[in-house]
């Protein structure tokens, strides 16, 4: 007869074998604005801790080798390493450059005359700890009506890094220096150019390149409500012009509301894409009740993006090649 321990062990193995899909959400807890990427041979997701502003004083991060099993890295960035953070640590943007890891963040929900805005923290490891690199915001001013939050950093094929950012219905773009710690003015001497793609733009810009075209995406609607969603444009240049094509992610009465503030992971070297986004479970109405989810992002033959089908199952295991 099998002992209890053996039976439990077999149950555990069956459980481990069963998990072939990520499920949605991909990890427990209220987490929003997820930035997904590949670094150091692993998938990573850096989200906002979704809670009252006064409690948003740290970021956790999550890593995975297959998109199915996620490991939590607690407090990769926290208040003790950002002297000027008071509240509302929002919307991480993460990238690796020359063996160092740069974590851009929004802090303080800044308004005119206040200290806050977009900062940058650096670490030698993707899992941190990250430390504020400047001792002050990289962008603390409100230019063209854009609140300095929701930055996304994009590296073009020529090696130039651009930052897109902005809340309050306006989006600005700037060039970053080679060390990613300052802003290089445009040819006309301006530091920021407005690239708001549509009257319906609200926040959460994201840029990616595919087939020589620039895919610009952003969130529309109010993030605390059900109508939050993601729309996109395709352009021939990173500066646009951006013409809104349509929505790619929105609420589904069968699945969730408030789906938005996304990012996209490309499997390196493959024409294979995953959208990482937050949404609100149907049982929830509180603005901060947001969970991080993943689904496939597909393109049509003409290069347009197919509307995302939100699922409860998530995606199948997808290992990265060594």
127 is catalytic: no
State how far the alpha carbon of 84 is from the alpha carbons of 117, 120, 133, 188, in Å.
10, 12, 12, 32
Q: Which residues pair with 230 in a beta bridge?
A: 219, 249
Cβ 148 to ligand FUB, closest distance in Å? Answer: 11
Q: 59 by DSSP, 3-state: which?
A: strand
Cα 236 to Cα 24: distance, rounded to the nearest angstrom? 34
Told to check if 152 binds ligand FUB by CB under 6 A, we report no
Residue tagged active-site, from 109, 203, 220, 295: 203
* 216 contacts ligand FUB (rule: CB under 6 A): no
Q: Cβ closer to ligand FUB: 35 or 132?
A: 35
Among 82, 149, 275, 276, binds ligand FUB (CB under 6 A): 149
150 in contact with ligand FUB (CB under 6 A): yes
Catalytic residue among 33, 60, 78, 127: 33
Residue selected from 34, 137, 166, 204 as contacting ligand FUB according to rule CB under 6 A: 204
The CB-of-33 to ligand FUB minimum distance in angstroms stands at 5
Binding of ligand FUB by 223 (CB under 6 A): yes
Report the distance separating Cα 214 and Cα 121, nearest Å.
27
Tell me whether residue 203 is one of the annotated catalytic residues.
yes
Which one of residues 31, 43, 90, 101 is an interface residue with ligand FUB (CB under 6 A)?
90
The verdict on 33 binding ligand FUB (CB under 6 A) reads yes
**Can you give the binding site for ligand FUB, defined by CB under 6 A?**
32-33, 48, 90-91, 106, 149-150, 203-204, 223, 261
Q: Active-site residues: which are they?
A: 33, 203
């Amino acid at each position: 007869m099998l002992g209890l321990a053996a039976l439990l062990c077999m149950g555990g193995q069956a459980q481990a074998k069963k998990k072939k899909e990520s499920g949605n959400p991909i990890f427990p807890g209220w987490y929003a604005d997820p930035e997904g990427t590949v670094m150091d041979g692993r998938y990573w997701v850096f989200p906002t801790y979704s809670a009252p502003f006064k409690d948003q004083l740290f970021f956790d991060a999550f890593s995975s080798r297959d998109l199915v099993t996620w490991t939590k890295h607690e407090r990769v960035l926290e208040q003790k390493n950002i002297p000027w953070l008071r509240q509302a640590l929002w919307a991480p943007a993460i990238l690796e450059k020359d063996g160092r890891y740069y974590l851009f963040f929004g802090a303080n929900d800044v308004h005119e005359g206040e200290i806050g805005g977009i900062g940058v923290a650096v670490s030698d490891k993707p899992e941190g700890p990250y430390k504020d690199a400047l001792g002050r915001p990289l962008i603390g001013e409100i230019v063209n009506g854009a609140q300095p939050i929701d930055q996304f950093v994009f590296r073009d094929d020529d090696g130039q890094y651009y930052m897109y950012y902005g809340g309050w219905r306006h989006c600005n773009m700037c060039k970053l220096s080679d060390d990613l710690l300052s802003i290089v003015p445009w040819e006309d001497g301006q530091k920021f150019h407005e690239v708001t793609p549509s009257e319906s733009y609200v926040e959460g810009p994201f840029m990616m390149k595919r087939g020589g075209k620039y895919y610009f995406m952003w969130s529309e609607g109010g993030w605390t409500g059900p109508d939050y969603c993601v729309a996109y444009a395709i352009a021939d240049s990173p500066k646009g012009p951006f013409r809104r094509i349509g929505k790619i992610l929105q609420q589904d009465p069968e699945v969730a509301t408030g789906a938005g503030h996304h990012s996209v992971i490309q499997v390196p070297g493959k024409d294979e894409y995953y959208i990482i986004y937050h949404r609100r479970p149907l049982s929830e109405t509180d603005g901060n009740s947001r969970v991080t989810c993943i689904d496939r992002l597909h393109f049509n033959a003409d290069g347009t993006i197919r509307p995302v089908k939100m699922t409860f199952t998530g995606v199948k295991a997808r290992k990265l090649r060594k």
